[in-house]
Structure 1
Amino acid sequence: MVRFVIIGIVIAVAFTLYALVDAAMTDGSRARGVSKPVWVVLVVLLPVIGGVLWFMIGKGATPAKRPAAPDDDPRFAGTRMSSADLDSHMRDLEQRLRELDDEKFPGEEASDPDAEPRGEEQPGPDDDAAQK
């Protein structure tokens, strides 16, 4: 029977220390009911009961911060374009894409855009050694 009492005391002390450290380290804005220093004093003066009260009443849940969508962000919403500006911007982007599609690089043949690629291989350094 004495063993159970000792084990109970050890558990009560561990729980009280855990509650005390948690109450002391928690941000003051999360403390509900009374201020954070009052909770620390309650946990010390009422060892087990103070810890239970701290976890059940005093420690407020952290509100989950929902990520804002870009259109909810005032920085984003302040730079919205009008419909006419957006249409003009889209036309400019499409024109730039057409120019990039039509661009020819050195060594590139002018080919029909509808034609399939032929899959010809370029000669590599090993091909020159095999021919000699």
Structure 2
Amino acid sequence: MGKAILVAVAVVLVIYAFFDALATPSDRVRGLPKPLWVAVVLLVPAVGALAWILLGTTRLRPNGPRRPRPGPRGPDDDPDYLRGL
């Protein structure tokens, strides 16, 4: 039973890495050219998938703390509306 779970996890990891490698834009791939990464993921399944996830792509990181978007303003916050009352 334990081996079946490990095999299932490895298969899911390879499938994820394969489709992630296909969908990642070429300018975000690092180390190897994109077609070579896809080949590594398919030919060396578990190790290639882990290598792709850890080394093959750059992840986008936010530049700083997120600023909250301003919420909708109600009519009682609008000075033009209040002038017309």
TM norm structure 2: 0.68
The answer to whether the aligner puts 1:29 opposite 2:27 as a matched pair is yes
Corresponding residue of 2:42: 44
Q: Deviations over 1:75-120 (max 9, x none)?
A: xxxxxxxxxxxxxxxxxxxxxxxxxxxxxxxxxxxxxxxxxxxxxx
How far apart are the structure 2 equivalents of 1:14 and 1:56? 16
Mind listing any 5+ residue stretches in structure 2 that lack a counterpart? 65-85
How far apart are the structure 2 equivalents of 1:46 and 1:8? 16
Residue identity in the other structure for 2:5: I
Map residues 11-90 of structure 1 onto 2, 5 A cutoff: 11-62=9-60, 64=62
Aligned-residue Cα RMSD (Å) equals 1.6
Asked if 2 retains the 8 angstrom alpha-carbon contact of 1:20 and 1:51, the reply is yes
Percent same amino acid among aligned pairs?
A: 33
Residue identity in the other structure for 1:50: G
Residue identity in the other structure for 1:11: V
**Residue 49 to residue 6, structure 1, CA distance change in 2 (3 Å):** same
How far apart are the structure 2 equivalents of 1:18 and 1:9? 14
How far apart are the structure 2 equivalents of 1:65 and 1:27? 20
Which is higher, the Rg of structure 1 or of structure 2?
Answer: 1
The DSSP-based 3-state class of the residue aligned with 1:40 is helix
TM norm structure 1: 0.45
For CA contacts below 8 A with separation 6 or more, give which structure has more relative contact order. 2
Residue identity in the other structure for 2:27: S
Corresponding residue of 1:83: none
Deviation at 1:44, TM superposition (A): 0.3
How far apart are the structure 1 equivalents of 2:52 and 2:17? 7
The DSSP-based 3-state class of the residue aligned with 1:34 is coil
How far apart are the structure 1 equivalents of 2:61 and 2:11? 30
Provide runs of 4+ in structure 1 moved above 3 Å.
Answer: 63-66
How far apart are the structure 1 equivalents of 2:60 and 2:54? 14
How far apart are the structure 2 equivalents of 1:44 and 1:62? 25
Mind listing any 5+ residue stretches in structure 1 that lack a counterpart? 67-132
Q: How many residues align?
A: 64
